[in-house]
Amino acid sequence: MPVKNRFAELLPDITAIRRDLHENPEILFETHRTSAIVADKLKAFGCDEVVTGIGRTGVVGVIKGKANTSGKTIGLRADMDALPIHEQTGLEYASKTDGAMHACGHDGHTAMLLGAAQYLAETRNFDGTVVVIFQPAEEGGGGGREMCEDGMMDRWSIDEVYGMHNWPGRPVGSFAIRPGAFFAATDQFDIVIEGKGGHAAKPQETVDSTLVAAHCVTALQSIASRNADPVDQVVVSVTSIESSSKAFNVIAQRVAMKGTVRTMSKNMRDLAETRLKAICTGVAETFGATAEVTYHRGYPCMVNHDEQTAFAAEVARAVSGDCDDAPLVMGGEDFAFMLEERPGAYILVGNGDSASVHHPEYNFNDDAIPAGCSWWAEIVEQRLKVA
């Protein structure tokens, strides 16, 4: 069960689609052109049903097998959106949209799933139904949640769902996966320190909000070092600090901070939120200031299901010859919402020695296309095997 020959034949066409998407990136839910191309391709492939507008701009295609004695439906998901980054690759097919680029490889994910959909629609060598899911707004918009809230899982009676992401630094076309918690919950916070501004030469007449903010930044690191169980992962990062003073001789009245919290368990997520609020309000009170803390819960932890993970790894080994144990990833992934509704698994496919994702010089490696397409196709043909 190696890489399928059909995908070697389709590689030029799939690559052309991928590079066209790369050249014309769209962010969040604004994937109108991308979604239209996906829908048109699925119709041309002969899908039994193509529905647009799921999760605002998501697209769903339905492919029925040559038999349906199993009564089962498998979902395959790819993300379509780009990032608000100015591309610096110098490629001939580089982004034509200033300030937007496919810096995470979603163009490759979309193209690979289109390739798999074409093959599955041609062969239909499976017993059941396949639903190919093309999702907008993975990069912070929660498109996966929106597609689920639109009733996608129940509407097409999806039993299991599988996703994939390219991974720079891994050999091209190789795979890695892990059961259980895989990608972190991604939360954000806003902290506003209110002190008493004044002249920098008379600090005794002020409550220095900048000093308070500095103590908060330091104290927040105690969540990981002193509150958390050392074997339970947590990252607390203050990523933005802005004071109300723009002058060298004025102590600021107010300082605003932003940041993110990454966790791998519900208990740690709850603990981090509680401690963050307590630390900031307590530190501020110590200095005579106040702290207003707003905590925003983002994507939940993405958790692979054990049985489906073992199966996904078995298919990956058959396609590429091996499947490594993947590390925990403190980045977020809104495929988590789909895995909360249905059992399934998410796998990494190697992108080779490329720039990292979210970097202005990143580019998806087209040489990974046959392996990625083959994995998706084999997930279907082996899970819904014709008797």
Residue 82, pLDDT score: 98
**pTM, entire model:** 0.95
Q: What is the structure's pLDDT at 1?
A: 47
User: What is the rounded distance in angstroms from the CA atom of residue 385 to the CA atom of residue 281?
Assistant: 58
Annotated binding site: 104, 106, 139, 165, 358
DSSP state of 334: T
- The answer to whether 255 and 209 have CB atoms below 8 angstroms apart is yes
Closest C-alpha to 56, from 84, 12, 26: 26
For residue 228 the two structure tokens come to: 């958390």
The series of mean pLDDT values per 10 residues for the chain, 387 residues long, is: 83 98 98 98 98 98 97 98 97 97 98 98 98 98 98 98 98 97 98 98 98 98 96 96 97 98 97 98 98 97 98 97 96 97 98 97 98 98 95
How many Å apart are CA 368 and CA 370, to the nearest integer?
A: 6
The per-residue pLDDT for 34 is 98
d(CA 3, CA 175): 13
Question: Would you state the structure tokens that stand for residue 92, as one six-digit string?
Answer: 């001939």
Structure tokens at 98: 């200033």
Helix ranges restricted to H, 150-305: 152-155, 209-220, 222, 266-286
For 103-197, strand residue ranges (E) read: 129-135, 160-167, 175-177, 180-183, 185-194
Distance CA 117, CA 17 (A): 14
The domain 5-181+301-383 having CATH identifier 1.10.3720.10: the answer here is: no
Other CB atoms within 10 Å distance of the CB of residue 270:
11
Second CATH level (architecture) for the domain 185-299:
2-Layer Sandwich (3.30)
Instruction: Sketch the domain layout of the chain as residue ranges.
Output: 5-181+301-383, 185-299
Q: Determine whether 9 is exposed, middle or buried from the number of CB atoms within 10 Å of its CB (0-12, 13-18, 19+).
A: exposed
Q: What is the DSSP letter of 80?
A: -
Which 3 state secondary structure label does DSSP give 382? helix
What secondary structure letter does DSSP report for 203?
A: G
Q: Which of 197, 219, 223, 200 is nearest to 289 (CA)?
A: 197
Residue 4: what pLDDT? 83
Binding-site positions for Mn(2+): 104, 106, 139, 165, 358
Find the Cα–Cα–Cα–Cα dihedral 369, 148, 187, 165, rounded to 10°: -10
CA 23 vs CA 80, 82, 100, 166, 218: distances in Å: 13, 11, 10, 19, 43
What confidence tens digit (pLDDT) does each residue in 222-276 have? 999 999 999 999 999 999 999 999 999 999 999 999 999 999 999 999 999 999 9
Catalytically active residues, by annotation:
81, 138
Model confidence pLDDT, tens digit, residues 144-165: 999 999 999 999 999 999 999 9
- How far apart, in whole angstroms, are the C-alpha atoms of residue 387 and residue 385? 6
With contact defined as beta carbons under 8 Å apart, do 26 and 102 qualify? no
